[in-house]
Amino acid sequence: MHKLILAAASVAALALVGPASAQAPIVIKFSHVVAPNTPKGLASEKFKELAEKYTGGKVKVEVYPNSQLYKDKEELEALQLGAVQMLAPSNAKFGPIGVKEFEVFDLPYILPDLKTLRKVTDGPLGTKLLNLLDAKGMTGLAYWDNGFKMMSANKRLVTPADYKGLKFRIQSSKVLEAQFRTLGAIPQVMAFSEVYQALQTGVVDGQENTWSNIYTQKMHEVQKHITVTNHGYIGYIVVVNKKFWDGIPADIKPQLDRAMKEATAYGNGQSAKENEDALAEIKKTGKSEIITLTPEQDAAMRKALEPVYQDVAKRVGQPLIDEFLKETRGATN
C-alpha cells in the first residue's frame, strides 16, 4: 500500500472522530488524472459549483486534477480507504480492483456512437454494473463520457500489420491487452501521467486515447502520426466511498444527487464538442499527421480485432457481452 495513501487515510479518519463543529462543511475530495480542460475536468468542476451552491456551502468540493494526489492505480485504493471521497476513473481501471465487468466497455468497436452508449448506461445493464461496486466499498453514482479513442505512433498506422512489434501504452485492462496482442503489438500498462514522457523517450512507440486527452497531455507533440480509428471508448464511472456517502445527512443528500445529475447532463452534453475542439487544436499545430482510413481500411481493422471478443468472453462471460450487444446492436442472440 502506498505510504501517502495511508497517511492521508489516517488524517481522514482523524477528521471523522475529531471535534465536530456544526459549521464545518463536509469536504469531498475529488481526485482525477486528467487536465482541467477535458470532459472529466469540466464535469468535476461543474459538480463542485452545483454541489456547493445547492447545499449553501454545507458541502465543499475540492477537485484535484492532473494526478496531483494519486496516479491511476492508487486512486481507487485511496477511495476505498477513505483518503479521497470521489473519483471518476475510466471503465478500464476497475478490473484491477476485481470488477472486471466494466471492461466490456473497452471492447473494440462495441459502441457505434454516444447515443447508443446511453442505452447501456441509462438502462438496466448500466444500473446492474454500478451495483457491483457496493461490494468493493464504493457507490457508483454516474457515467461520464470522454469519447472515442484514436491510435497514435511515430509510424503510420493504416493496416493491422502496421501495429506488429510496436510497443503501446495501455490502461490496466485485460481487454486492451488482448486488443494489442491480437494486432501483434506489445501492450505495456502505464499510468496516464507517465505517457507523455514514455512516448518522448521511446519507452513505448504508441498509445491510444481520445482527442482531448491527446491534446491536453501534448502527446501530439511526440507522436508523428495519429490515425482516426474511433476503435474504442473511454468513459468514466463516478464513484464515492460508500461509508462516507451513506453517512451524508438526509437533508443534504438530495442536493448532492441533484448536483451530480445536472453535472452529468452538462458534461455528457458537451464531451463530443470538447474532443472536436481538441482535434482542431491538434490540427492547427501541424505537429502530427492525422490519418483518415478508407472504409476498406476501417473494415480490415474491425476484422482483425474480432478475436478479442472471444478472448474477453473467457474473462467476463459471453452473457454479459450479449447483454451489452443487445442494447447496442439490437442483437438478440
Contact residues toward ligand LMR (CB under 6 A) are 33-34, 40, 72, 90, 146, 171, 192, 209, 213, 234
Nearer to ligand LMR by C-beta: 47 or 325? 47
Q: Which residues contact 296 (CB under 8 A, 6 or more apart)?
A: none
Dihedral over alpha carbons 330, 308, 107, 156 (to 10 degrees):
-120
Shortest reach from residue 264's CB to ligand LMR, in Å: 16
Shortest reach from residue 169's CB to ligand LMR, in Å: 8
**What are the grid coordinates assigned to 67, written together?**
494526478
Nearer to ligand LMR by C-beta: 70 or 244? 70
Shortest reach from residue 210's CB to ligand LMR, in Å: 7
Nearer to ligand LMR by C-beta: 182 or 193? 193
**Farthest-apart Cα atoms in the chain, separation:** 67
Please, what sign has the CA dihedral across residues 243, 249, 254, 259? negative
Nearer to ligand LMR by C-beta: 104 or 325? 104
- Under DSSP, the state recorded for 99 is -
Shortest reach from residue 58's CB to ligand LMR, in Å: 29
Q: Which residues contact 89 (CB under 8 A, 6 or more apart)?
A: 72, 75, 76, 236, 237, 239
Nearer to ligand LMR by C-beta: 5 or 33? 33
Q: How far apart are CA 306 and CA 309, in angstroms?
A: 6
Nearer to ligand LMR by C-beta: 59 or 180? 180
- Under DSSP, the state recorded for 58 is S
What SS3 state is found at 171? coil
